[in-house]
């Protein structure tokens, strides 16, 4: 691979966290000459906090990233040390894959992936300034656009030219770490903060605000009494994230452990609350509600005598353990004293204490759904810079930003996923339409169409899009079409196959199930809670014969069964989505003057003018815009 001009690129991605890695990978594989700039090449896609991928709703996002051609799922599968499918006892819409990963291997595999990607080049340095061309405001309400990005300047004084830039700076913009009375500038422990970009963009007119996150202490496993802890194993038959046949489910799993705080632990922590930067006014950034520090837990749930924590290994070749649920910014000696009062951790040695970190973010209502900024042409934001938290949310944004930066350069419309099409669509629409008032984390409850957005069918929903973009390899595309055909074939077989009482009743009686009074279609039996393809294979030799003849595997059987059992719910959600989609088809002119509409409230006028929704559907989701306001807009546009 030749780089004929070291200083000129199509796309520059700033930051090699989870967002930056996906953005750079996608842009390069879509044919754009791409430069990834990172402050430390040894920490690409570093798991700065929890060494795990997935979880409730997050696991579905990773499946979607994979279905579109992203790389997070594949790399997770190759570095998994424990796999669990969360919420398996609930409906299929709630099943959420989660993998504990080997932290060092995950990062190393990402570096290997990027270094072997055609069109992708890497530069180790810090970006301190964007190269911009100022533009004259245009007529109408697109005068928000004040500049066009032309490249970046680094800390070492190197200038790189580019047609588009994607900023994925994570927690590094103005990063400030806190541990008790001690404070230090940095994006994470051991890494410097990034300076210059926030100041430049603020001067250009961008809103810049502060958020806060935190991480717990890391513990030396040789000093832990595991015999006193409750062991938590992975799934007996683990699955995997990627739909690619190139990855396999983990074979040798490592255990995690459950540990519990106590009243004595709580008393030790509370004794130093006056020294906590969270409570004494030192920290001003807003922290994540759904991943609170141990101090926040004790204050919010003051009556609880214990809290459950998870002790998780950081890899196969290290003794380092992560204490999930014990994030703290209290003085390190207080953290150590409290930890040693937890059963099993009485002699714990700490590799490093927990700390909080404040950083700059840009309220995401300053973006279009493409993740391009409104004020600067061809400048995209992705990840924690947009006020989100979590590797998965960051990676999803990075993938979409990389795709859309490439699409713009190629003269194509951006890829904008709908809310009924992907969790990624929900994520981005929430960000750009509603904004954030705390670090945004995805939950299944944020999606109106959870039954449509299952993890098992992410490929059926999104792989055709990924293939059209050139991000799905031809062999994987062929496998996808084979899977889709087999699912349809099995459902069709179930619809046509008649089950006679003479071939099923003996089986039902032997399993204490009510015998049939008349023959039924196999499809109607599968719809019942007490039947599945797996149980009926034993009772119906013809079904077994069909499955063996067609070489239908467990993944196909599960997908077909879910489609059958949830058919009524799926069709109802599709109808609802179609009804609401009509509002998405009613466009609002880009230069429409909302302030001139006296028939809607002042609050609605102000918010509509600030966010500039492109459709009535988007306008209806803006907080403060009422149904009455939407009716006025509908009348205005002749509907």
Shared domain check, 364 and 491: no
Host domain of residue 249 = 218-354
How far, in Å, CA of 446 to CA of 247, rounded? 30
Task: Answer yes or no: do 311 and 242 share one domain.
Answer: yes
DSSP H or E run through 386 = none
CA angle, 33 then 34 then 40, to 5°: 150
pLDDT value, residue 137: 62
pLDDT in tens, 533-564: 988 888 888 999 999 999 999 999 999 999 99
**Shared-domain flag, residues 368 and 507:** no
> In terms of pTM, does the model score above 0.75?
yes
How sure is the predictor about 138, in pLDDT bands with cuts at 50, 70 and 90?
Answer: low
pLDDT at 139: 52
Number of structural domains found in the chain:
4
Structure confidence at residue 287 (pLDDT): 77
Rounded to an integer, the average pLDDT of 235-263 is 96
Residue (of 454, 513, 459, 519) closest to 486 by Cα position: 459
Tell me which of 444, 469, 494 is where a domain ends: 469
Residue 224: phi and psi, rounded to 5, are -105, 135
User: Is 50 domain-assigned?
Assistant: yes
Asked if residue 450 is part of any domain, the answer here is: yes
DSSP 45: T
Residues 224 and 210 in one domain: no
Classified as helix, coil or strand, 263 is helix
- Please check whether residue 577 lies inside any domain of the structure: no
Q: Round to whole Å and give the CA distance between 114 and 284.
A: 37
Q: What integer is the mean pLDDT of 40-63?
A: 96
Residues 290 and 374 in one domain: no
In CATH, what number is assigned to the domain containing residue 391? 3.50.50.60
- CA–CA separation, 296 and 302 (whole Å): 10
Q: Kindly state whether residue 578 falls inside one of the protein's structural domains.
A: no
Judgement on whether residues 101 and 153 belong to the same structural domain of the protein: yes
Same structural domain, 129 and 200: yes
- Please state the rounded mean pLDDT for residues 430-451: 93
Q: What are the CA-CA distances from residue 118 to residues 19, 69, 121 (Å)?
A: 19, 15, 9
25 shares its domain with 46 = yes
For residue 1, tell me if it sits in a domain: no
Q: Which of 517, 546, 571 is the last residue of a domain?
A: 571
Beta-carbon count within 10 A of 344 CB: 18
Q: At what angle do helices 58-68 and 458-469 cross, to 10 degrees?
A: 40
Q: Are residues 560 and 606 in the same domain?
A: no
Q: For residue 380, tell me if it sits in a domain.
A: yes
Same domain, 154 and 15: yes
pLDDT higher than threshold 70 for residue 106: yes
User: Which of residues 354, 385, 420 is at a domain's end?
Assistant: 354
Is the pLDDT confidence value at 636 over 90? no
Q: Is residue 576 part of a domain?
A: no
**First-to-last CA distance in the chain?**
55
Give whole-number Cα distances, 306 to 218, 321, 343, 348, in Å: 21, 21, 12, 19
* Inside any domain, residue 42: yes
Which CATH number covers residue 303? 2.40.30.260
How confident is the model over 183-238, as pLDDT tens digits?
Answer: 898 888 888 888 899 999 999 999 999 999 999 999 999 999 999 999 999 999 99
Strands, E, within 410-546: which ranges? 498-499, 520-521
Q: What is the mean pLDDT of the chain?
A: 93
Mark whether 156 and 105 lie in a shared domain. Answer: yes
Query: Span 29-33, mean pLDDT?
Result: 98
CATH code, domain with 604: 1.10.150.570
Given a cut of 80, is residue 144 above it in pLDDT?
no
């Amino acid at each position: 691979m030749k780089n004929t001009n070291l200083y000129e690129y199509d796309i520059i991605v700033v930051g090699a966290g989870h967002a930056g890695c996906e953005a750079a990978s996608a842009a390069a594989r879509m044919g754009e000459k791409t430069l990834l700039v990172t402050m430390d090449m040894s920490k690409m896609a570093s798991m700065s906090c929890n060494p795990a991928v997935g979880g409730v709703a997050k696991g579905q996002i990773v499946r979607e990233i994979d279905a579109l051609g992203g790389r997070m799922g594949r790399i997770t599968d190759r570095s998994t040390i424990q796999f669990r499918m969360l919420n398996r006892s609930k409906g299929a819409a709630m099943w959420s894959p989660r993998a504990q990963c080997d932290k060092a291997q995950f990062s190393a595999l990402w570096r290997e992936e990027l270094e072997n990607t055609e069109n992708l080049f890497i530069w180790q340095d810090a970006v301190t300034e964007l190269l911009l061309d100022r533009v004259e405001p245009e007529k109408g309400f697109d005068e928000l656009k004040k500049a066009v990005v032309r490249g970046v300047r680094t800390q070492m004084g190197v200038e790189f030219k580019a047609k588009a830039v994607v900023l994925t700076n994570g927690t590094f913009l103005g990063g400030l770490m806190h541990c008790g009375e001690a404070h230090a500038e940095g994006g994470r422990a051991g890494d410097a903060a990034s300076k210059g970009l926030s100041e430049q963009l603020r001067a250009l007119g961008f809103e810049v605000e502060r958020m806060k996150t935190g991480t717990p202490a890391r513990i030396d496993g040789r000093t832990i009494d595991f015999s006193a802890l409750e062991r938590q194993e992975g799934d007996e038959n683990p699955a995997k994230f990627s739909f690619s046949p190139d990855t396999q489910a983990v074979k040798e799993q490592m255990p995690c452990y459950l540990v519990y705080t106590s009243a004595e632990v709580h008393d030790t922590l509370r004794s130093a609350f006056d020294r906590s930067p969270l409570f004494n006014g030192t920290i001003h950034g807003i922290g994540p509600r759904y991943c609170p520090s141990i101090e926040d837990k004790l204050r919010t749930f003051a009556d609880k005598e214990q809290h459950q924590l998870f002790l998780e290994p950081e890899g196969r070749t290290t003794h380092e353990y992560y204490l999930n649920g014990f994030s703290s910014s209290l003085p390190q000696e207080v953290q150590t004293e409290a930890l040693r009062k937890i059963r099993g951790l009485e002699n714990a040695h700490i590799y490093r204490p927990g700390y909080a970190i404040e950083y700059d973010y840009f309220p995401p209502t300053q973006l279009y759904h493409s993740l391009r900024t409104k004020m600067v042409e061809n400048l995209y934001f992705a990840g924690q810079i947009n006020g989100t938290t979590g590797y998965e949310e960051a990676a999803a944004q990075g993938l979409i930003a990389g795709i859309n930066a490439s699409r713009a350069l190629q003269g194509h419309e951006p890829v904008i996923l709908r809310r009924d099409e992907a969790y990624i669509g929900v994520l981005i629409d929430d960000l750009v339409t509603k904004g954030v008032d705390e670090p945004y984390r995805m939950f299944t409850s944020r999606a109106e169409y959870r039954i449509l957005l299952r993890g098992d069918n992410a490929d059926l929903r999104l792989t055709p899009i990924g293939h059209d973009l050139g991000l799905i390899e031809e062999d994987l595309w062929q496998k996808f079409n084979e899977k889709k055909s087999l699912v349809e074939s099995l459902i069709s077989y179930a619809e046509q196959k008649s089950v006679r009482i003479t071939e099923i009743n003996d089986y039902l009686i032997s399993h204490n199930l009510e015998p049939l009074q008349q023959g039924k279609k196999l499809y109607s039996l599968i719809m019942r809670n007490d039947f599945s393809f797996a149980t009926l294979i034993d009772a119906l030799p013809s079904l077994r014969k069909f499955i063996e003849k067609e070489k239908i595997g467990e993944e196909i059987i599960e997908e077909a069964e879910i489609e059958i059992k949830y058919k009524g719910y799926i069709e109802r959600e599709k109808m609802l989505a179609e009804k609401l989609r009509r509002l998405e088809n009613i466009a609002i002119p880009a230069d429409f003057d909302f302030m001139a509409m006296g028939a809607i409230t002042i609050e609605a006028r102000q918010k509509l003018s600030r966010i500039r929704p492109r459709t009535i559907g988007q306008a209806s989701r803006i907080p403060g815009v009422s149904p009455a306001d939407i009716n006025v807009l509908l009348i205005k546009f002749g509907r």
